[in-house]
Amino acid sequence: MSYIVIVGPAYPFRGGIATFNESLARTWQAQGHEVEIITFTTQYPSFLFPGKSQLVEGPAPADLKITRELSSVNPASWFALGVKLQKKRPDLVLLRYWLPFMAPALGTVANLVKRNKHTKVIGLTDNVVPHEKRIGDTMLTQYFVNSCNAFVTMSEMVTTDLRKFDKAKPVICQPHPIYDTYGAKVDKLEAQKKLQLPLEDRYILFFGFIRHYKGLDILLEAMKDEHLQMLGVKLIIAGEYYEPEAPYQKLIESEELKGRVIARTEFIPHEEVALFFSAVDLVVQPYRTATQSGVTQIAYHFDKPMVVTKVGGLAEMIPDGKVGYVTEVDAGKIAKAVYQYYSENKEEEMVEQIKEEKKKYSWEKFAEAIIEQYEKL
């Protein structure tokens, strides 16, 4: 048994990374390890956070030890946590890295804890090169990379990016596990009724927060395709705007899309995620850039075929023509893929392929891979 500390988002912070960290902690606990999560007192200053709220409502998970000790903007908390962990001597500290802004805090903690000559530090890197670049990103990422003993990535693209910063330290690539924390599938018609959707239409889903790199505008342009109009396909947007909504609203209100877009543009509570995925036929990720995507792994959990663009690690996760379609970042080609799915009646065939494909992405396998990486250090 190992004593493991995860440093990164968790309750009361919301979002996919927090959900991921909590699922990983539960998996390690089930495997016999002692695990705690140390999360933020301040994750983002309010002026840097584009959404409405960073926090979820409701009680803390009763089965996890989660403490709030790290402020991304207060160096005193970095040093305090680093010294505390140095003395507590965990076997493994896993640092969750997704944004260069977090590098000073996480890197400082890592450099301090390693001074005990016992604890090993592994960086779990969602991104190494961020989707939206800012001055200083390279310097900050280099600081974080230098502070770790080894790394885990979740796509070959991120592995390649990481090697630009360090060519020698151990790196393993382990695919993002299935998000299986959102409950069971709901009957499609029942889900549509609960969401108050007309039952005679066909639905595709864009899920998650809305930013330029996620390409919602491209999907809205694709929805103008006359073939999709003839099929009666409607688009559900389920997610909060993280940038000005006016350009998207202009597209939604255009003559070609009138009445064909259902916009639920707010944060989707955990307990409602199953309804949105269960109600649709197809999940579309029209991203301009990507590494890997938690949306893909939610879709896998609910046995939903996907259309994804050929960027980052998305194509690694979606065997083209089997569990969905991989297409160029182009509205016309996305529309063609959606039309092909419906016109060739691919749902039943692809759902069966998904049930087989998703067996690769277990939490147990992911957790064990990190422990194997730690044991080699």
- Could you give the 3-state DSSP secondary structure of residue 113? helix
DSSP state of 11: T
pTM across the whole model: 0.87
Q: 246 to each of 183, 250, 251, 276, how far by Cα in Å?
A: 34, 6, 9, 24
Q: Averaged over 322-347, what is the pLDDT?
A: 97
Q: Are strands 282-285 and 261-264 parallel, antiparallel or unpaired?
A: unpaired
Could you report the per-residue pLDDT of 248-276, keeping only the tens digit for each? Answer: 999 999 989 989 999 999 889 889 999 99
Q: What is the pLDDT of residue 54?
A: 67
Question: What are the structure tokens assigned to 338, written together?
Answer: 């959606």
Q: What is the pLDDT of residue 47?
A: 58
177 with 363: CB under 8 angstroms?
A: yes
Q: Long-range contacts of range 341-347, CB-CB < 8 Å, 24 or more positions apart?
A: 341/281, 341/282, 341/305, 341/307, 342/202, 342/231, 342/233, 342/281, 343/227, 343/231, 346/305, 347/281, 347/305
Distance CA 152, CA 148 (A): 11
Q: Virtual CA dihedral for 167, 168, 169, 171, nearest 10 degrees?
A: 60
Amino acid identity of residue 150, one-letter, is A
Given a cut of 80, whether residue 316 has pLDDT beyond it is: yes
For the chain, where are the E strands, in sequence order? 3-7, 34-42, 66-71, 92-97, 120-125, 150-153, 171-173, 202-207, 233-238, 261-264, 282-285, 306-309, 324-327
Q: What is the pLDDT of residue 320?
A: 95
**Length of the chain in residues, anyone?**
377
User: Higher model confidence: residue 116 or residue 54?
Assistant: 116
Q: Averaged over 120-127, what is the pLDDT?
A: 95
Q: 200 to each of 192, 306, 341, how far by Cα in Å?
A: 10, 21, 18
Amino acid identity of residue 178, one-letter, is I
**Across the strands, what pairs with 7?**
38, 95
Q: What is the pLDDT of residue 129?
A: 80
Structural domains of the chain sorted by starting position, each given as residue range(s) with its CATH number in brackets: 3-177+362-376 (3.40.50.2000), 188-359 (3.40.50.2000)
Distance CA 286, CA 293 (A): 12
Amino acid identity of residue 133, one-letter, is K
Could you report the per-residue pLDDT of 153-173, keeping only the tens digit for each? Answer: 999 989 999 999 999 999 999
Q: What is the pLDDT of residue 354?
A: 97
Could you report the per-residue pLDDT of 30-87, keeping only the tens digit for each? Answer: 999 999 999 999 887 765 555 555 677 788 899 999 999 999 999 999 999 999 999 9
Q: Averaged over 221-234, what is the pLDDT?
A: 95
264 with 256: CB under 8 angstroms?
A: no
Distance CA 133, CA 174 (A): 25
Distance CA 338, CA 307 (A): 7
